[in-house]
A and B are shown apart, each in its own frame.
Chain A
Amino acid sequence: MQLQTTINGKPIQAEVPAETLLIDLLRDDLDLTGTKRSCDMQICGSCTVLLDGQPVSSCSLLAYETQDRQVLTIEGVSLNGSLHPVQTAFLQEYGLQCGFCTPGMVLTTLSLLAENPNPDEETIRAHIGSNLCRCTGYYPIVNAVKKSVQLTNNTPGD
């Protein structure tokens, strides 16, 4: 099928088989390898990307679903080559270790802040709570999201 989509703000046209999964389009065809495959059954959240701003598991979503829609991957998060405040927050709070779940965590956080710029702790936990991390015990990640709220609200024009 002929696919037209926008990935990280860039229009993409590709001829792909209908059964192509979004993660394979990203990683194999477009070399956007920041999106990580792990559980491969839409549970762990490592492969999270945003589809029109909403978090989806790219391991279990057909690339077909991105037709005429916007996809954001970790490679598109940085602002003009500098870190997004959410990324800065994760670094400041040691909200990552091995880095494998990290792109998914950052994108899930972005989807939260887009929906609710001032989430309370309960909302934060509910929103990111199903993304799995095996290194940090989650505490630094929750702190990183809280710090993201602060930093994002302090970034002019964002």
Chain B
Amino acid sequence: MLDKAYGVGERAPQVDGPAKITGQAKFAGDIKLAGMLEAKVLRSPFAHARIRSIDVSRAEALPGVACILTGNDLGDIDPYYGHAVRDRPIVAIDRAKFAGDPVAIVAAESASIADQALELIVVDYEELPHATTIEEAMVANAPQIHDTEQLRLGLFHGLGDFQPHNNICYEHHLEDGDVEKLFSKADEIVEGEYRFPSVYQYSMEPHLTVAHWIANDQLELWSNCQHPYLVRAEVADIFSLSKANVRIHVPYLGGGFGSKSYTRLEPMAAAVARKAARPVRIANSVTESMWTSRRHNMICKMQTAADKDGMLLARKVELWLDTGAYADNGPRVVATAADAAAGPYAWQAQKVDAFGVYTNRPPSGSYRAFGATHLQWIGESQINEIGRRVGLDALEMRKKNLLKFGDTIRKGGKPLDADLIGDIQKVADGLDWGEKRGENIGRGFGIGLLAAGSRPVSTSFLRLEADGTITVLVSTTELGQGARTAMSQLVSEVLKVPLSQIRVPDGDTQITPYDRSTGASRSTTLAGGAVHLAALDLREQLIDIAVKMWKLSDEAIEIREGQVWGGDKSATFAECLEWHFGFVGGELFGRGIVRPEEGQGTYSAGPVFWEVCTGGVEIELDRDTGEIKLRKVVSVADVGTAVNPSLIKGQEMGGAAQGLGNAIFEEMHFEDGQLMNGNLADYRVPKLFDMAEEFVSVIVQNEDGPGPYGLKGVGEGILAAMPAAIVNALGELGIEINELPATPERVWKAMNDSRQDDNTLQKKIGGE
């Protein structure tokens, strides 16, 4: 299947398919090092507690225990990390800040011994008052989760002003126009208070890291991380190592979805391996991974003002995101949520006040389409409500108010680079919007924007091996999205070689060059951009050789069918190399570097592109139980140019499934900070039976992206659109949802509430 060239736009098979389908693909958990110890983590049972003392003597005496790491072992390093805020010690120092916070780590000859040792550690805790919800954390005299005076910025803060205070970790404010004035003259105002739950990314593979010190100044890690270069920098900083002396291998990832963004288990694994002076593995259970990363729960107050013709005037938003005990990626989520809050409409004024709040809960970080998923359902349901009041259909409301190509989204930032009205029309067409449906059938859609791309820094080398095959050195993490296939196709497009002659090895910070991160839908656009440039560079070098070899002009040289041609002469790449080096050896390197154009490197001037988040659903409601059955999903992927339509469709279908989960199933339940459903029996993710029978995937290719061939990223938008579409479909059925997930019970209750409202109304009318 791979023995063929596949260019841009073709449905290439997955280059990593054969390895994965045979079970040969290596994941982090498949790495075994000689002498490797198994580490297990002792975690705080309390949401907030002072650690008076830890007695590890009995545990240490257990045969087979190599060492035990506690906060007392961190004196000779800078134990605090956090890419945004350095607020997190490797293991708790003095205080545990959430139920699940690592307090000690045992490294032993086997997992079984480590488990036994955990039970022998005696920790003397003093329970402290805790703040385990946003409300508790925001009241005056709330327990302070951090001494904010002492907090330091992380290495990749990048968000400008940073003034944490009380339990506010970060805040972000947008203001444009005179909101109050517009509200005072508005004909229609819709307002509400909304809640988004804490959810878990649930990649099938939990977090896992293997650490191995080669010498006291050289550390090697195998880790299922999405952003190895950012992890490298943080780990180097903790242990005062040269960044180049921290080598991170990134094998295949069993999914990420943001949960494996930034630094996770690496500092713990490295610290224990250092103490044990042996290789150590830490493998999370699902429960532990739920304590490691999750999506922020949120409270949001939103008000939307419009005139009597349905022209939108202004929007006011206040939102509080629960970042848990440590900032993690909270500040970025706050900023992105603020960006997404107003929605892509031609507001005359908008005001957004967004806060990231520390609580005594597990830390929250990135999850696919963060910010947009939090806000889109709220904003879009208010647009529909305005429409209902003024007698305009949801589609008409969008056509009347959506931003147009080139319009300003936020001052100083990138203007709109997509055709939103064209996109939403395609969603409506996919739903047969004009047609009537039965009384329990609801339809809805949503549209929004997501600031995508993160920092535009990516590099790549293409190595033309002596045998004529090509090794693509790029640090994009393959986590299922098909990055290695897309990169191969970008090379194949330029150099016309079969995919079987292109290899994309594992990320390895000692070998594959710098890439900022794998997330924010950036890889094909930015890392792909670097690979594309590297392929062009290599192509030029090959043409140059052929010009000299055949004494032809460069216009006469052509590359096709994996060979270099000059009129009727042809040579394989290997033959070109042999001629060039005068020997059956030697290699060429293509080089690709993507960096910000002037003014494009900062967050305020960004994003790299705006990812369109749109899609629609048709649902059937069981009015007895409140259960929703998804009948149809329409996704519109506005990708500029599709490198591989099949992979894009795969992203859309997977994203829609996760969006469904966020919309109607998933919620991490906490009681006094204790996670009550930290396992798959009680935490529900979508199953095959939950998916709609019909999935319509539309790919829009307007070549309006910043990547090669006008492409832009994809894969997150549909997730954000799904809750909006489902909430609007319920709205069409007269059911108002202001808290997700819209579980059967919540829908049933909302249905009864609206029925009671109707009854009261009828009684009123009847009485008069």
Say whether B22 contacts A78, CB under 8 Å: yes
Please give the distance in Å from B119's CB to the nearest CB on chain A.
17
What separation, in Å, do the CA atoms of A22 and B481 have in the docked complex?
Answer: 31
Contact with B along A114-158 (1 / 0, CB 8 A): 000000000001001111111111111110000000000000000
Q: Is B198 an interface residue (CB 8 A)?
A: no
Decide: A140 near B650, CB < 8 A? Known: A39-B679, A44-B680, A98-B255.
yes
Q: Is B34 an interface residue (CB 8 A)?
A: no
Say whether B479 contacts A98, CB under 8 Å: yes
What separation, in Å, do the CA atoms of A36 and B480 have in the docked complex?
Answer: 15
Decide: A125 near B650, CB < 8 A? Known: A96-B20, A100-B254, A102-B21.
no
Please give the distance in Å from B634's CB to the nearest CB on chain A.
13
Decide: A137 near B695, CB < 8 A? Known: A94-B650, A129-B688, A132-B685.
yes
Decide: A138 near B688, CB < 8 A? Known: A91-B14, A99-B254.
yes
> Which residues of chain A are near B479, meaning CB under 8 Å?
98
Say whether B688 contacts A134, CB under 8 Å: no
Q: Is B96 an interface residue (CB 8 A)?
A: no
What separation, in Å, do the CA atoms of A136 and B695 have in the docked complex?
Answer: 12
Query: Is chain A's interface secondary structure helix, strand, loop, or mixed overall?
Result: loop
Say whether A36 contacts B22, CB under 8 Å: no
> Which residues of chain A are near B688, meaning CB under 8 Å?
125, 128-129, 131, 138, 141-142
Q: Is B401 an interface residue (CB 8 A)?
A: no
Say whether A34 contacts B257, CB under 8 Å: no
What separation, in Å, do the CA atoms of A137 and B14 have in the docked complex?
Answer: 17
Say whether B481 contacts A97, CB under 8 Å: yes
Picked from A92, A131, A135, the residue with its CB within 8 Å of the CB of B654 is A135
Say whether A130 contacts B687, CB under 8 Å: yes
Q: Which residues of B33-54 are within 8 A (CB) of A? A: none
The residue in chain A whose Cβ has the minimal distance to the Cβ of B633 is: A137
Q: Is A46 an interface residue (CB 8 A)?
A: yes
> Which residues of chain A are near B679, meaning CB under 8 Å?
39, 41
Q: Is B196 an interface residue (CB 8 A)?
A: no
Contact with A along B241-263 (1 / 0, CB 8 A): 00000000000111101000000
Say whether A136 contacts B654, CB under 8 Å: yes
Q: Is A50 an interface residue (CB 8 A)?
A: no
Say whether B647 contacts A73, CB under 8 Å: no
Please give the distance in Å from B294's CB to the nearest CB on chain A.
15
Contact with A along B472-512 (1 / 0, CB 8 A): 00000001111000000000000000000000000000000
Number of interface residues of B (CB under 8 A): 54
Decide: A99 near B206, CB < 8 A? Known: A33-B26, A43-B681, A135-B255.
no
Q: Is A103 an interface residue (CB 8 A)?
A: yes
What separation, in Å, do the CA atoms of A137 and B206 have in the docked complex?
Answer: 19
Size range of the chain A interface in the assembly:
35 or more
Say whether B204 contacts A36, CB under 8 Å: yes
Q: Is B231 an interface residue (CB 8 A)?
A: no
Q: Is A16 an interface residue (CB 8 A)?
A: no
What separation, in Å, do the CA atoms of A137 and B480 have in the docked complex?
Answer: 13
What separation, in Å, do the CA atoms of A79 and B130 have in the docked complex?
Answer: 59
Of residues B252, B480, B655, B679, which shows the largest number of chain A Cβ atoms within 10 Å of its Cβ? Answer: B480
Q: Which residues of A95-116 are within 8 A (CB) of B? A: 96-103, 106
Of residues A40, A131, A134, which shows the largest number of chain B Cβ atoms within 10 Å of its Cβ? Answer: A134
Q: Is A77 an interface residue (CB 8 A)?
A: yes
> Which residues of chain B are near A41, meaning CB under 8 Å?
679-681
Say whether B26 contacts A102, CB under 8 Å: no
Contact with A along B715-733 (1 / 0, CB 8 A): 0000000000000000000
Say whether A98 contacts B480, CB under 8 Å: yes
Please give the distance in Å from B46's CB to the nearest CB on chain A.
25
Say whether A134 contacts B204, CB under 8 Å: yes
Please give the distance in Å from B689's CB to the nearest CB on chain A.
5
What separation, in Å, do the CA atoms of A2 and B15 have in the docked complex?
Answer: 42
What separation, in Å, do the CA atoms of A100 and B9 have in the docked complex?
Answer: 27
The residue in chain A whose Cβ has the minimal distance to the Cβ of B659 is: A137
Please give the distance in Å from A28's CB to the nearest CB on chain B.
8
Q: Is A35 an interface residue (CB 8 A)?
A: yes
Say whether B203 contacts A103, CB under 8 Å: no
What separation, in Å, do the CA atoms of A106 and B21 have in the docked complex?
Answer: 8
Say whether B687 contacts A135, CB under 8 Å: no
Q: Is B148 an interface residue (CB 8 A)?
A: no
The residue in chain B whose Cβ has the minimal distance to the Cβ of A137 is: B653
Decide: A83 near B23, CB < 8 A? Known: A98-B254, A98-B480, A140-B650.
no
Q: Is B16 an interface residue (CB 8 A)?
A: yes
The residue in chain B whose Cβ has the minimal distance to the Cβ of A74 is: B23
The residue in chain A whose Cβ has the minimal distance to the Cβ of B646 is: A94
What separation, in Å, do the CA atoms of A42 and B733 have in the docked complex?
Answer: 38
Say whether A137 contacts B21, CB under 8 Å: no
Q: Is A58 an interface residue (CB 8 A)?
A: no
Please give the distance in Å from A91's CB to the nearest CB on chain B.
4
Say whether A91 contacts B25, CB under 8 Å: no
Q: Is B309 an interface residue (CB 8 A)?
A: no
Decide: A39 near B17, CB < 8 A? Known: A97-B480, A142-B688.
no
Would you mind naming 12 contact pairs between A and B with Cβ atoms under 8 Å apart? A32-B23, A36-B254, A39-B680, A41-B679, A77-B22, A98-B479, A99-B16, A99-B25, A103-B23, A106-B21, A125-B689, A132-B204
By Cβ-Cβ distance, the 9 closest A-B pairs, closest first, are: A34-B23, A98-B480, A99-B20, A100-B254, A137-B653, A74-B23, A97-B480, A137-B657, A33-B30
